[in-house]
């Protein structure tokens, strides 16, 4: 699979419920396993990123776009307050790496609530939470992507 989009999600569960918890929840829904490709969650005292579904496999996170996207979940509910800066930075860095890997731009990052713009069915959700400013998030992804590209140019790695 070569993604054309990155879809950002929230779990709407406590931030301490990471990959294993989400995997069990998705399996109970009848899926083959976790639908997201990465999960950012709160381990004791620190935000971490965990590998979810293998990136080579189609996810189950955004109906109508699963075959052309990778999914990143920031564990928690972000309706009333945004994720902590540490979680947002980790998510933006993860998205920047994906952008570099798959030749995408920060503008190819969408919140789950925005996927109707891409021709997908309306998810009827506010995911990844209305308190998460997606334009500011994309700007942060762009800054990190610029840094990765500048580093790649210095060390002579093709991007």
Taking every pair of C-alpha atoms in the chain, what is the biggest distance, in angstroms? Answer: 47
Kindly write down the DSSP assignment for every residue of 9-72, as one continuous string: EE-SS-TT--HHHHHHHHHHTT-SS---SEEEEEETTEEEEEE-S-TTS--SSSTTTGGGEEEE
pTM: 0.94
- pLDDT tens by residue, 99-137: 999 999 999 999 999 999 999 999 998 999 999 999 999
Cα distances (Å, whole numbers) of residue 52 to 8, 29, 100, 132, 157 = 14, 16, 19, 22, 27
pLDDT at res. 44: 86
Give the CATH number, domain containing residue 71: 3.40.80.10
Q: What gap in Å lies between CA 109 and CA 124, rounded to an integer?
A: 19
Helix (H, G, I), strand (E, B) or coil at 8: strand
Q: What gap in Å lies between CA 33 and CA 52, rounded to an integer?
A: 9
Instruction: Single out the residue of 135, 15, 127, 130 nearest to residue 79, CA to CA.
Output: 130
Q: Domain containing 143: what range?
A: 5-155
Number of domains in the chain: 1
Segments in the chain below pLDDT 70: 157-159
pLDDT at res. 20: 92
Q: What gap in Å lies between CA 131 and CA 120, rounded to an integer?
A: 23
């Amino acid at each position: 699979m070569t993604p054309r989009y990155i879809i950002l999600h929230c779990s709407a569960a406590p931030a301490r419920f990471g990959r294993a918890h989400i995997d069990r929840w998705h399996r109970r829904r009848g899926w083959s396993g976790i639908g997201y490709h990465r999960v950012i969650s709160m381990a004791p005292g620190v935000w971490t990123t965990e590998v979810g579904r293998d990136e080579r496999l189609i996810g189950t996170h955004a109906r109508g776009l699963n075959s052309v996207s990778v999914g990143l979940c920031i564990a928690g509910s972000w309706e009333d307050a945004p994720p902590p800066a540490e979680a947002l930075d980790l998510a933006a860095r993860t998205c920047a790496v994906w952008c570099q890997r798959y030749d995408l731009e920060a503008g190819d990052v969408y919140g789950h609530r925005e996927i109707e713009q891409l021709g997908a069915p309306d998810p009827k959700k506010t995911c990844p939470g209305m308190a998460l400013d997606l334009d500011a998030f994309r700007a942060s992804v762009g800054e990190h992507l610029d840094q990765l590209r500048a580093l790649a140019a210095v060390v002579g790695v093709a991007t």
